[in-house]
Amino acid sequence: MGMSDVLFPSGPWTGFYNYQPGARHGMDLQLSFVNSRMSGAGTDDIGRFTIRGRYDAASRECWWTKTYPGSHDVAYRGFREGKGIWGTWEINLFTHGGFHIWPCGSEAGDSASECAAATRLDQPAAETQTVSPVPTRG
């Protein structure tokens, strides 16, 4: 196993993003890290999304685009440190925040069951009012 396999393991990841200070929005991801390319898919409180980006094992940095099909894109930039990847996301100058994700079963999540319980991929989201970021106007 190379350094990139340890730092950026392919498989299930979980975590959250912050939209407003103190408000954590959970997300589950299935990520693949191969030859500096990052890809995958997942779900969060807004809906299903795809992931396309790059990572650099030497600098421990990664950059990707989270795309909600038929909706909007979110630019992510992160740094692999300690228990996961920390960083920032941005839709535009006024819509941005932070995030933290980690591999399922790692020490960041106390147990693998936390990953399964974080968000159920097969269940519709509860009918709560969700603040969706407003897409930029061209």
What are the tens digits of pLDDT across the range 77-106?
999 998 899 999 999 888 999 999 999 987
Q: CA 128, CA 105: separation in Å to the nearest integer?
A: 29
- Tokens 């809906």 belong to 47
CATH for 42 = 2.40.128.120
- Domain range for 55 is 3-118
- H or E element in which residue 39 lies: strand 37-44
Tokens standing for residue 44: 């969060």
In a domain, 103, yes or no: yes
Q: Give residue-wise pLDDT tens across range 25-81.
A: 999 999 999 999 999 999 999 999 999 999 999 999 999 999 999 999 999 999 999
Whether 123 maps to a domain, the answer reads: no
- Domain assignment present for residue 138? The answer is no
Count of domains forming the chain: 1
| Structural domain contains residue 124 | no
